Chain A
């Protein structure tokens, strides 16, 4: 990740910060509407491998932070050597209530299960996603379980510990 790339990014997209802390994981922070455009730009630049989409619940700031981790595959004629070492962290913050985001499937097809998972575990709605069905969970949880205000230990005490043992009648 070199300076030119940083400048190019900053010139095309306004209001983003590119933060190069080490050689391999530059961080781009951008606002919600720009995400898809930046992802497409990165894909065109050769970062065609969406490693994953992650989500962090910042309870104190009442925000979700979505992190798109994008890296590059090997290419036969690699324009920028060493590109495949880089994993770009594209971060965006959205409000905790009314959490909504456009889906990244048009850019990266493999975003589908990640977004399904985040929808299920954090309750973030991805507009345009073809099947936001439950992925992992069988029970219904009032608060999506990966949010910070969901207390797993409390939940276990309330639900599972209250189910009685079946003892033999004497």
Chain B
């Protein structure tokens, strides 16, 4: 840990804490999950960077959406995302959440995940290599450092529109709104 690091720790412990302790929700959303076990086990050992799978969304601050998102999964993703405490970061893993990827014409997968929840970073590829996850993590560090990983703020501010999109894709959602919607005609 060099002097620069210590200075950063003293200045903004919150940011640094979030950087080096990214607990990812354990959610096998799609086929990208197959590369998560190698990443968290002996070969790549993500725990070196403080990345750890968390059993419950309450404990996590990173949501790695691994692969295509079917409509049914989207509901679970939204529920899980809303249960995570703020600040929280989302990373889309693989091509499918970006634009539908291979399943661009499937009737049951949603194509652009960022229409429904905010995404802080993307990892392209099908399937991205484990190293790509580390690149994403280090990139996320930079974003956190610069204060650009503000997806959760965006979600809070534009909750009305997000909720509208979610209900367009899923029909009426059972659970009450997470935030009061400020201005309907924004």
Chain B positions 60-111 with a Cβ under 8 Å from a chain A Cβ: 70-72, 75, 100, 104-108, 110-111
With A156-B107, A160-B169, A169-B157 known, 10 other A-B pairs at CB within 8 A are A138-B70, A138-B72, A139-B71, A156-B100, A156-B105, A156-B111, A164-B165, A165-B112, A166-B114, A166-B115
A141 touches B170 (CB 8 A): no
Closest to A168 in B: B154
Q: Is A113 an interface residue (CB 8 A)?
A: no
Q: Give Cα A80 to B75, complex, Å.
A: 52
B18 within 8 A of A: no
| A19 at interface by CB-CB < 8 Å | no
Instruction: Flag if A164 contacts B108 (CB, 8 Å).
Output: no
Q: B165, A166: Cβ atoms under 8 Å?
A: yes
Chain B positions within 8 Å of A, measured between CB atoms, are: 70-72, 75, 100, 104-108, 110-112, 114-115, 118, 154, 157-158, 161-162, 165, 168-171, 186
Point out the residues of chain B lying under 8 angstroms from A155, CB to CB: 107
A69 to chain B minimum Cβ distance, whole angstroms, is 25
Taken together as a complex, chains A and B put the C-alpha atoms of A145 and B169 apart, in Å, by 16
Do A139 and B170 form a contact, CB below 8 Å, given A156-B104, A156-B105, A166-B158? yes
With a cutoff of 8 Å between Cβ atoms, the chain B residues found around residue A168 in the complex are 154, 158
User: A160-B111, A161-B111 known; A152 and B105 CB under 8 Å?
Assistant: yes
Shortest 3 CB-CB contacts between residues of A and residues of B: A138-B72, A138-B71, A152-B107
Q: What total of chain A residues lie within 8 Å of the partner, measured CB to CB? A: 21
Does chain B have a CB within 8 A of A12? no
* A166 and B170 within 8 A (CB): no
Output the nearest chain A residue to B158 by Cβ-Cβ distance.
Answer: A166
**How far is A165 from B162 in the complex, measured between Cα atoms in Å?**
9
Q: Are B115 and A152 in contact (CB under 8 A)?
A: no
Choice from A137, A153, A166, A169 contacting B108 with Cβ under 8 Å: A137
List residues of chain A with CB within 8 A of the CB of B106: 152, 156
A163-B170 in contact given A139-B108, A145-B107, A156-B107 (Cβ < 8 Å): no
Q: In the complex, what residues of B have CB within 8 A of residue A161's CB?
A: 111
For residue B71, which residues in chain A have a CB less than 8 angstroms away from its CB? 137-139
Within 8 A of B (CB), among A126-156: 136-141, 145, 150, 152-153, 155-156
Shortest Cβ distance from B170 into A: residue: A138
**Which chain B positions have C-beta within 8 A of A156?**
100, 104-107, 111
Would you give 9 A-B contacts (Cβ < 8 Å), ordered by A?
A137-B71, A139-B169, A139-B170, A140-B171, A152-B107, A159-B168, A164-B161, A165-B115, A166-B161
CB distance from A39 to the nearest CB of B (A): 31
